[in-house]
Amino acid sequence: MADGEFGGYGGRHVPDPLREPLDELAAAYDEVRETDAFREEFRALLEEFTGRPTPLYHARNLSERYGADIYLKREDLLHGGAHKINNALGQGLLAKHAGRERLIAETGAGQHGVATAMVGALLGLETEIYMGKKDAERQAMNVFRMRLLGAEVNEVTRGGAGLADAVDVALEDFAENVADTHYLVGSAVGPDPFPRMVRDFQSVIGEEAREQFRERTGALPDAAVACVGGGSNAIGLFHAFRDDEVAFYGAEGGGEGPDSTRHAAPLASGTDDVLHGMKTRVLGDDVEVHSVSAGLDYPGVGPEHAMFRAVGRCEYTAVTDDEALAAFRELSETEGIIPALESSHAVARAIQLAEEGAHDSLLVNLSGRGDKDMETAAAKFDLE
């Protein structure tokens, strides 16, 4: 398989001005990632800066309730509150080792922008975050966090002033400034080399979990479950188990918007198309993505997941807002852990599988913590 090809998905579907920057980035990645200096610094900072390894937690109350052993990989305990920092740190270090002085990133809800700003501060790289003006207004606290961390936040007003417009502006910046700038993409999406690079940086999740699970139980889990937005935490969990007899389950956002036909599940219900430089599963223009969790609100998905779906390696299901919110509450009450709304989709799917008696042991990636979701949750539940 050619680099960046995942069974006919992926590739580099970009306009001419982006070809050279991507060639240079791919070459830098292939060169730097195998060096001892890079690997050692990444390993050390994952430990000291982000707090790895994260624990594997046996959710005993939930397991007892549903009659299956449910284990949670606790990415919610990482610095910044989610798995996003693994990738931000990996790409930030790559940029530094490749002699770049500046990071740019786009962000929707702001979580990836905050992770990038943290890494920019750590590594002394100038950092500029592009954010749609509408998103910046809705996520004022994250804008403040990014600025506090020393990043410049550039509010994009063109087009619909949303995430897609921020992507366009960031790509233009990258094409113009490739000599000194790295574009830090936030999920396993986009043109090659991003999907494989982000997967590699997130693979630490599954590598740790595989070791921990074996140590604890003497075996591997029957199934691994993760939520899928762009697909980075899921591919990061799955990768270490790809050649094992472990079933994979991906939970997409299947929220209903105002006209009840809207959802954010390109794997469960999309078609093959080209989006943001990659061939993948995409939702049509007539469908507006919607999920109660901002992190799952993306009309496409990483190309490796499109391949997993095509060959039947992973089963992808849309989980509704209501199902995710119920799991959010249930995990809080039964285990004393408040998950991110994104991660709640994976918990909901794991509970369904346990109820069906599909597997005896389930490994669930708890991709992030729920602190950022308190306002959303408080508007949904009346807890008097």
Number of residues that bind ligand PLP (CB under 6 A): 17
How far apart CA 209 and CA 74 sit, in angstroms, is: 10
The number of helix segments (H) and strand segments (E) in the chain equals 16, 14
Q: Which is nearer to ligand PLP, 175 or 340 (CB)?
A: 340
Helix (H, G, I), strand (E, B) or coil at 349: helix
Q: Which residue is nearest to ligand PLP (CB)?
A: 368
317 binds ligand PLP (CB under 6 A): no
Contact region with ligand PLP (CB under 6 A), list: 54-62, 138-146, 173-181, 336-344: 336-344
- Indicate the helix (H) or strand (E) that contains 202: helix 194-202
Applying CB under 6 A, the span of 48-56, 177-185, 226-234, 280-288 interacting with ligand PLP comes to 226-234
Between vectors from CA 85 to CA 80 and to CA 88, what angle results, nearest 5°?
A: 135
368 is a contact residue toward ligand PLP (CB under 6 A): yes
Which residue among 125, 149, 228, 337 contacts ligand PLP (CB under 6 A)? 228
Contact between 231 and ligand PLP by CB under 6 A: the answer reads yes
- Using CB under 6 A as the binding rule, whether residue 117 contacts ligand PLP is answered as no
DSSP state of 241: G
Q: How far is the CB of 129 from ligand PLP (least distance, A)?
A: 15
- Asked whether position 340 contacts ligand PLP by CB under 6 A, the answer is yes
Active site residues per annotation: 84, 106, 367
CA distance 158 to 168: 10
Residue 11 or 368 having the CB closest to ligand PLP: 368
Residue 367 lies near ligand PLP (rule: CB under 6 A): yes
Cβ pair 198, 185 in contact under 8 A: yes
Residue 51: closest CA among 87, 77, 73, 71: 77
Question: C-alpha dihedral over 45, 47, 51, 54, to 10 degrees?
Answer: 130
Q: Considering the rule CB under 6 A, would residue 208 count as an interface residue with ligand PLP?
A: no
Q: Of 10 and 231, which has the nearer Cβ to ligand PLP?
A: 231
Residue 182, strand partner residues = 103
Of the chain, the end-to-end C-alpha distance in Å amounts to 57
Region near ligand PLP per CB under 6 A, out of 51-59, 205-213, 228-236, 246-254: 228-236
| E strand intervals along the chain | 5-6, 9-10, 56-58, 69-74, 102-107, 126-132, 152-156, 181-183, 223-228, 247-253, 271-275, 278-282, 314-319, 361-366
Q: Is 63 a binder of ligand PLP (CB under 6 A)?
A: no
As a whole number of angstroms, the distance between CA 73 and CA 54 comes to 7
**Candidate residues 91, 181, 187, 344; the one interacting with ligand PLP per rule CB under 6 A:** 187
Q: Which of 232, 280, 291, 361 binds ligand PLP (CB under 6 A)?
A: 232
The only residue of 111, 181, 280, 352 in contact with ligand PLP, by rule CB under 6 A: 111
Q: Which range, of 142-150, 247-255, 274-282, 340-348, touches ligand PLP by CB under 6 A?
A: 340-348
In one letter, which amino acid is 41? E
Residue choice 25, 46, 82, 129 for contact with ligand PLP (CB under 6 A): 82
Residues at the site binding ligand PLP, with contacts judged by CB under 6 A = 82, 84, 111, 187, 227-233, 295, 340, 342-343, 367-368
